[in-house]
Amino acid sequence: MSLLPALTGAHGDAPDAVRIGDDALSFADLAATSAALARRITGATAVAVTATSTVDTVVAVLAGIAAGVPVVPVPPDSGPAERDHILRDSGAELILDDEAARTDGSATWPDPTATDRPALILYTSGTTGPPKGVPIAGTAIAACLDGLADAWHWTPDDRLVHALPLYHVHGLVLGVLGALRTGSHLHHTGKPRPDLLAAAKGSLYFAVPTIWHRVAAAPDAARALRHARLLVSGSAALPAGVFTAIESLTGQAPVERYGMTETLITVATRADGHRRPGAVGIPIEGVETRLVHDDDDTAPGALEIRGSTVFAGYLGQPDATARAFTADGWFRTGDVATIDADGVHRIVGRASTDLIKTGGYRVGAGEIEDALLTHPAVREAAVLGRPDDDLGQRVVAYVVADGVSADSLIQHVATTLSAHKRPREVIFVAELPRNALGKVQKHRL
């Protein structure tokens, strides 16, 4: 089957089928322009593109797919050392910046099918060392997008709207290639402004928690999303307060999903599924999950995944690859989760920072954060374990809140959860440090 059937005319066309900022193209124009650039890069080992939120970036990515050349999206704000590492490590022979991505003339779209060859090489940062290259095969992309199309009832009748960066799975794979696989129209608003998102009048919206927080803070823009049929949040946990505000203003609860660069999106709340704050749903078609516990099966466990969306291994790093997979082929996500009787997953956090061993108990930071967020004065919360001579680790909460004392929040958690899960210390901060995708950077706390 064609990897991106919209570019073959399989789903019809329109002059503005793909709109990014102020630029709009039909599927046919996008296919012809990308195919023309593909002729210039055929045979390269890999090509890099400075992944700005522009039509040029989309054309460059599609040209690589058409030519069978892996594309390496480089964050436009990456520092010199990070950029140099990505270019050297990936073996990119060309850099398709905005000027290089433009080409005269047109060509016939070659209609590539999904194969096991890398279509993209994305870079992800680990806990130590420089970013690692993650080759993403066309078959994995197809499996992920087909699984999400099934879960979200995503069809050519949809109009997808988002403003996500085009160098991550969320914005590039789901937000661009997803539209070209399902045939839905795409509107990237360029900037993540609530008024622009509202004016786009989409049926399907993708955003990270930071953007949803901004939408919730702009009630008129939020109410304009009532016409949409599905609001999707991902890349980080959506705070319960934002979930509730979006539900109240738009008339529908958002759906959350889970994934990572190495696995693409593997777990999602279905369009017809039950939506609850913090719940990221069930595995999509072709994906299996399991929890591994050290001892107590009732505690959160280490989440492992296998299936058609999972990568084969890190680029040029066999040792890192071996550490990432179990002997029986499951990928160790490094995340801690719970799975309820209905198979619904909740991500507690990273094993390295969010699984706290205190007083002989294993406690998930996410569970305590959720409890804190049920207090009406709390807007944001992040929980860490700090070394403690008596407890091993003590629970410390960083909180953005108004008009409440530390003791009140500690008691609030103790009345919601077991007493040993209460914070031993509460530190009030003006805001939590987050990255571009809205993930809390706990190492900065």
One domain for residues 74 and 202: yes
Whether 337 maps to a domain, the answer reads no
Number of domains forming the structure of the chain = 2
CATH classification of the domain holding 33? 3.40.50.12780
In a domain, 194, yes or no: yes
Strands 301-307 and 287-292: antiparallel
Same domain, 189 and 40: yes
> Would residue 333 count as lying in a domain?
no
Structure pTM? Answer: 0.84
Domain residues for the domain of 34 are 5-260
Is there a single domain that holds both residue 253 and residue 363?
Answer: no
Are 254 and 369 found together in one domain?
no
Per-residue pLDDT of the chain (445 residues; tens, 9 = 90+): 899 999 999 999 999 999 999 999 999 999 999 999 999 999 999 999 999 999 999 999 999 999 999 999 998 888 788 889 999 999 999 999 755 556 666 899 999 999 999 999 999 865 456 789 999 999 999 999 999 999 999 999 999 999 999 999 999 999 999 999 999 999 999 999 999 999 999 999 999 988 998 999 999 999 999 999 999 999 888 888 889 999 999 999 999 999 999 999 999 999 999 999 989 999 999 999 999 987 666 678 999 999 999 999 999 999 999 999 999 999 999 998 999 999 999 998 777 777 787 876 778 788 798 889 889 999 999 999 988 877 878 999 999 999 999 999 999 998 878 788 899 999 999 999 887 667 788 888 8
Is the residue at 267 inside a domain?
A: no
Residue 100 lies in a domain: yes
pLDDT score of 437: 67
Indicate whether 47 belongs to any domain: yes
Q: Select from 237, 260, 283 the last residue of a domain.
A: 260
Q: What pLDDT shows up at residue 389?
A: 75
Same domain (yes/no): 145, 32: yes
Which residue do the tokens 């198979």 mark?
343
Q: Tell me, yes or no, whether 231 and 363 share the same domain.
A: no
Give 83: exposed, middle or buried? Use CB within 10 Å, 0-12, 13-18, 19+: middle
Rounded to a whole number of angstroms, the distance between the first and last alpha carbons of the chain is 48
In a domain, 297, yes or no: no
What pLDDT does residue 127 have?
A: 47
The pair of structure tokens assigned to 235 is: 């890349």
151 and 41 in one domain?
A: yes
Q: Residue 211: what pLDDT?
A: 92
Question: What's the pLDDT at 348?
Answer: 83
Residues 6+ apart with CB under 8 A from 63: 34, 35, 37, 38, 40, 41, 47, 96, 101
pLDDT value of residue 314:
97
370 and 251 within one domain: no
Q: Which residue is it, tokens 């080409």?
A: 103
Last residue within a domain, chosen from 214, 230, 260 = 260
Q: Are residues 255 and 363 in the same domain?
A: no
Q: Are residues 26 and 146 in the same domain?
A: yes
DSSP result, 395-422: EEEEEEESS--HHHHHHHHHHHS-GGGS
For helices 365-373 and 406-416, the axis angle rounded to 10 degrees is 110
Give the integer Cα–Cα distance in Å for 287 and 265. 10
Per-residue pLDDT at 77:
82
Question: Residue 324 falls within a domain, yes or no?
Answer: no
CATH number, domain with residue 422: 3.30.300.30
**CB contact set of 192 (below 8 Å; sequence gap of 6+):** 163, 164, 207, 210, 211, 214
Consecutive H or E run containing 249: helix 240-250
Residue where one domain finishes, among candidates 227, 260, 293? 260
Is 248 in the same domain as 366?
A: no
Residue 226 confidence (pLDDT): 96
